[in-house]
Structure 1
Amino acid sequence: MTSVMDVPADIAPGRLSPREYEVNFDDATPPLNRKQALIEAARCYFCYDAPCMEACPTGIDIPSFIRKIATDNVKGAAVTILEENIMGGTCARVCPTEILCEQACVRTAQEHKPVTIGALQRYATDWLFDREIQPFTRAEPTGRKVAVVGAGPAGLSCAHALALHGHDVTVFEMQPKAGGLNEYGIAAYKMTNDFAQREVDFILSAGGITVEYGKALGRDITLAQLRADYDAVFLGIGHNAVNALRIAGEDLAGVSNAVDFIAALRQAPDKSALPVGRKIVVIGGGNTAIDVATQSKRLGAEDVTIVYRRGPESMSATGAEQEWAQTNGVRIKYWAQPRTLVGSGGSLREVEFEYTVLDEAGRLAGTGEVFRVPADMVFKAIGQSFVPSAVGEEGFAEILEFQPDGRFAVNEDRQTSLANVFAGGDCIGGIDLTVSAVQDGKVAARAIHRLLTGS
C-alpha cells in the first residue's frame, strides 16, 4: 500500500476551466442596485446619537449619508463618506462591519438584522467613482513640503489630507504600485475590476501629490535625508517581516508565506497560470489565513485545511470570515499547533501537529498527542511584524522611540519622539484594519498641518 510519503508533490496551474476561474474570482458580494439601496436606506432610524457612528474608526456620519441615499442624493452621500474616510470605497468592501458599525446598529438589537451599512457605503462611493467625479478642491499652495513613506492606506490618507490643505506631498513607495495591502494583500474576489488602483487614481487626481516608486526607506532614502529636505515626514511603512514557524522543515519546497501567495495571485493577470497544490494546509487564524485558504480552494485545490492553535472565539478572523471559508469548502481545525513539516526529496509531504489545551493558568500548552495531515503546500499565516533594523539605517533605533513590540511609539496625534516625524498604520500597531490605518493618516495630517501653519 502506497503511503502519503511516497506520493510526489502535486503543485500545478490550470486545475479548473476558464469559466470556473471567472466565476470563482468574480465579485463575492454583488453591489446594491438603486431600488435595493433605497429600500435598505429606508430601514435606517437616522439616530440622533447614532451608535453606528461611534463604532466607525473614522467617524463617518452614517445616518447623514444614509439619509442622503434615501433622498437620492447619492453624490452627497459619497462626499459625506469620503470626507472622513478617503478609502471609503475599499472599506465598504473589506471592513468587518459585522463587528463595527453594523453590530452597533439599533436594528441589530431589535431584529438581529442591522442596516447593511457597508453595502450602502459601497453603493454611494461606487456611484461617484463610476462617474469619475472629483468632489475635492485643493487649497492654494502653501510652499510647505511633506514626505510620506509608504503608499498604503495610512500614507495615502495622510497625503490626500495634506495636499487638500495646499502642502506639496511626495510619497515614496517601494512597490511598483500604490495601495499597500489594498493592492497586494486582500483576496481577489473582494477587490475586483482593479478597484484598488481606481481608488489610488481618485486620490491622486485631487492634485498636490507626487509618487516615487521603487524607493525603500533605508535602501534608497534615509530618515535623516527626508528630515533635511522636507518640513515634516509621515511613516506609513506597514509590516516589514513575516513571522516564522520556527520548526523543522520550514525550508521545504511547498512551504510559503501566505502574504506572498496572496500578492502573487492579486497581481496575476491570468489566475489559471498560478500553481496550486491538491492538499493545502494553512497555519494561522486571521484574515490572511481565511483569504489564502479560500482562494486556494477557488484555484482548484481539493482539500484545504486551516489549523489554529486555539478555539474559534480566539481567532482574529471574524465569525463571518470563518463561516465564509467553511461555505467555500475549507475545513477549520482548532486546538492544534504545528510541530514538524515532513518532507521527502526536498518537498513537503505532511504536517505533524500537536493537540493543545489551556492549562490551569489559562496558558496554551501542548498535550503531547500528535497527528499528521497530508499536504503538498503549506501557507504560513501566523502574523506579520515590524522590525526597525530591517530599514537598514544606521542610528535608526537611537533617534526614535519604540514600543516593546518594536513598532514606533507615537502620541495621540501619531507624532513620534521626533517633533516633525509622524507614523501610522501597522508600523504603530493597533487594530489591523484598513479603516484604522486611514484614520491614523487623517489624524497625523491634521497634526502636521497644525505644525506647519502654527494654527
Structure 2
Amino acid sequence: MNIQNKVVEASQVSVLDEMFSDIKPALTERQASYESSRCYYCYDAPCVKACPSDINIPSFIASIHNGDIEGAAETIYSENILGGSCSRVCPTEILCEQACVRNKEAECSPVLIGLLQRHATDNAQFADHPFERAPSTGKTIAVVGAGPAGLSCAHRLALLGHNVEIFEAQSKAGGLNEYGIAKYKLTDNFAQKEIDFILEVGGITLHTNKALGKDIHLEELTEKFDAVFLGIGLQGVRDLGIENEDKPGIYNAVDFISELRQAETADQLVVPEKSAVVIGAGNTAIDMACQLKRLGTEEVTLVYRRGTEDMSATKHEQQIAKDHEVRIKTWSRPEALLFDEDDKLTGIRFQKTETVDGKLIDTDEQFDVPCEAVFKAVGQTLTYPASEPTTPDSGSKITTAENFKTSIEKVYAGGDCTGVGEDLTVEAVQQGKLAAIAIDEQLKTEGN
C-alpha cells in the first residue's frame, strides 16, 4: 500500500495540472541517499524540538540511509499520520531545518528534512495499514470537521480502539489540504489519496455534507456520542473595511483558491487577464498571487500595510512570490476601490503608512494601482453557528484547557478554530492527536 500508488496517464493530465506542476519536486533515490548521509543523527536533536508533531527526525533519516523506507515512514506516521502532506506544505525552513546543526557548518546548509520526509512517505510500500487497532473499547466519538486536526484525531482514536464518526460540511474531506492550499504544493489529488490511506486503519465512518448548526447539532452529538471533537477550522473571511467591497471585481482569496483546486479546466475560472491586486501578508496571499501569475495574469501586485519583516509569510514564501514576478508593495493601506461610470472596477487607492512609537499611522501620501480584480487575503475568522451552544470565545476562537477540553461537557477542540499555537497544518495535526489521547484518557477514567 502506497499513498502514491495511482499512475495518471499522460493523456489525462489537464492544462491546469501542467500549469500547477509540483513547486518542490521529490528527491531521487540517489539524492535521498546522499541527503540522509549528511545528518549527524544528533542524540539531543534540535530538529525534533522544533517539530510541532514530535517526529523522531534523526531516526527516520537513519532508516532512509540504511535503505529501510518502510521503517522511516512508520516512524513519521507514528507521530504524524498526515506526514505526506506536511512534508509538502510545512514551513520546514523556519522549523526543523532552521534548527538543524548543519546551519552552523561552513556550508550553512541544513539537511533537507522536509524532502526526506516526503521521500519516505511517498515510497514506502506497506502490505496493509502500518498500524493495527487496539481491541475495541465499545466507545464512539464524533469528530466535526475532516481537516488535518479532525483526521488526525479520528485516526488516533481509531488506533486506541474507539469507533469514530466524522461529520464534514463540504462534499469532500481534507479541509485546507483539499480546499485551501496552493495547487502547486499539493498536486495529483494527493489530499484524497492521503485520506484513503488514513481511513484504511478501520473504525472510522465519514459523513460529508453535514454542517454543524444545519445538518448536525452539538447537543444531539453530545447525547449520542461518548465524546465530541471540534476541528471546524476558520470559515469566515475578514473584510478590508472600505466601501463597495460587495461589488463585482472584489473577491475572497480563499474562495478563489478553493474553486481553483476543484476546477478541472482553466475555463471554469474567471481570471483577470492584465492586472490584479492581492491584499495581505500571509501564505494565502502569496499562494493567491503566485497562482494568478501561473494562470496568466500579466501584472500581479501584493500589497501589505506594514513592512516585509512583519509579513506572516516566511522569507521562503516571499521568495516564491518574487520568483513568480509578483510585485510586492509594503507600507500601504487600502483606502478606496475605484470604479468607472459603468460600475466596473478600475483600480484601488492606497494610503501610505509608517510606524511611530510602534503604532501604525497614515502619511500624507496616496497612490492608485490600476487593476481588473482585487483579492482579499487579510485573515480568516471562526464562524460558530448561532444555533449551537456558545463557547467562551465564540466569534473569535474556541478556548480550550490544556487537555483541549472546552467549557462544554464532553466536547474537545483543536486546530485553527482554537487559540492554541499557530495556524499551521502540522500544528493542527498535533492538536488533533493530543486531543484524541486526552479523550481516551478521560474515557478510561470514567470507565474505572
CA displacement 1:4-50 (0-9 Å, x = unmatched): xxxxxxxxxxxxxx997544311111101111101000000000000
Q: Of residues 147, 150, 157 in structure 2, which corresponds to 1:152?
A: 147
- Taking a change above 3 Å as real, the CA distance of residues 270 and 131 of structure 1, as seen in their structure-2 partners, is farther
- Structure-to-structure mapping, 1:226-245, within 5 angstroms: 226-245=221-240
Q: Which residue of 2 aligns with 1:425?
A: 415
TM-score, normalization: structure 1? Answer: 0.92
Q: Of residues 280, 295, 298 in structure 1, which corresponds to 2:291?
A: 295
Q: Secondary structure at the match of 2:35?
A: helix
Q: Does 1:205 align with 2:195?
A: no
CA displacement 1:255-296 (0-9 Å, x = unmatched): 100000000000001134322102010000000000010000
- Taking a change above 3 Å as real, the CA distance of residues 133 and 349 of structure 1, as seen in their structure-2 partners, is farther
Alpha-carbon distance in 2 for matches of 1:122, 1:102: 14
Q: Which residue of 2 aligns with 1:250?
A: 245
CA displacement 1:317-351 (0-9 Å, x = unmatched): 00000010111110100110100011122321110
Q: Which residue of 2 aligns with 1:118?
A: 114
Alpha-carbon distance in 1 for matches of 2:422, 2:104: 25
Alpha-carbon distance in 1 for matches of 2:126, 2:162: 27
Q: Of residues 61, 65, 68 in structure 2, which corresponds to 1:66?
A: 61
- Pairwise CA distance, 1:242: 0.4
Specify the code of the residue in structure 2 equivalent to 1:445: A
Mapped contact 1:152–1:180 kept (Cα < 8 A): yes
Q: Does 1:446 align with 2:442?
A: no
Specify the code of the residue in structure 2 equivalent to 1:426: D
Mapped contact 1:353–1:372 kept (Cα < 8 A): yes
Alpha-carbon distance in 2 for matches of 1:20, 1:39: 34
Say which is worse superposed, 219-228 or 114-123, in terms of deviation. Answer: 219-228
Specify the code of the residue in structure 1 equivalent to 2:401: N
Mapped contact 2:251–2:375 kept (Cα < 8 A): yes
Specify the code of the residue in structure 2 equivalent to 1:440: Q
Alpha-carbon distance in 1 for matches of 2:298, 2:182: 19
Q: Which residue of 2 aligns with 1:12?
A: none
Alpha-carbon distance in 1 for matches of 2:54, 2:387: 36
Alpha-carbon distance in 1 for matches of 2:412, 2:14: 47
Q: Which residue of 2 aligns with 1:375?
A: 371
CA displacement 1:298-319 (0-9 Å, x = unmatched): 0000000000011111000000
- Structure-to-structure mapping, 1:26-41, within 5 angstroms: 26-41=21-36
- Pairwise CA distance, 1:195: 0.2
Q: Secondary structure at the match of 1:426?
A: coil
Q: Which residue of 1 aligns with 2:400?
A: 410
Specify the code of the residue in structure 1 equivalent to 2:25: P
Q: Which residue of 2 aligns with 1:7?
A: none
Mapped contact 1:21–1:298 kept (Cα < 8 A): no
TM-score, normalization: structure 2? Answer: 0.93
Q: Which residue of 2 aligns with 1:223?
A: 218
Q: Which residue of 1 aligns with 2:49?
A: 54
Q: Does 1:386 align with 2:377?
A: no
Specify the code of the residue in structure 1 equivalent to 2:73: A
- Pairwise CA distance, 1:175: 0.1
Measured on the aligned residues, the alpha-carbon RMSD in Å equals 1.5
- Taking a change above 3 Å as real, the CA distance of residues 90 and 132 of structure 1, as seen in their structure-2 partners, is farther
Alpha-carbon distance in 2 for matches of 1:161, 1:393: 30
- Taking a change above 3 Å as real, the CA distance of residues 367 and 409 of structure 1, as seen in their structure-2 partners, is same
Mapped contact 1:272–1:299 kept (Cα < 8 A): no
- Pairwise CA distance, 1:132: 6.9
Specify the code of the residue in structure 1 equivalent to 2:313: A
Specify the code of the residue in structure 1 equivalent to 2:337: L
Specify the code of the residue in structure 1 equivalent to 2:303: V
Q: Which residue of 1 aligns with 2:9?
A: none
Q: Which residue of 2 aligns with 1:5?
A: none
- Pairwise CA distance, 1:131: 6.0
Q: Secondary structure at the match of 2:416?
A: helix
Alpha-carbon distance in 2 for matches of 1:281, 1:249: 16
- Pairwise CA distance, 1:102: 0.1
Q: Of residues 238, 262, 267 in structure 1, which corresponds to 2:257?
A: 262
Q: Which residue of 2 aligns with 1:401?
A: 392
Specify the code of the residue in structure 2 equivalent to 1:434: T
Q: Which residue of 2 aligns with 1:342?
A: 338
Q: Which residue of 1 aligns with 2:8?
A: none
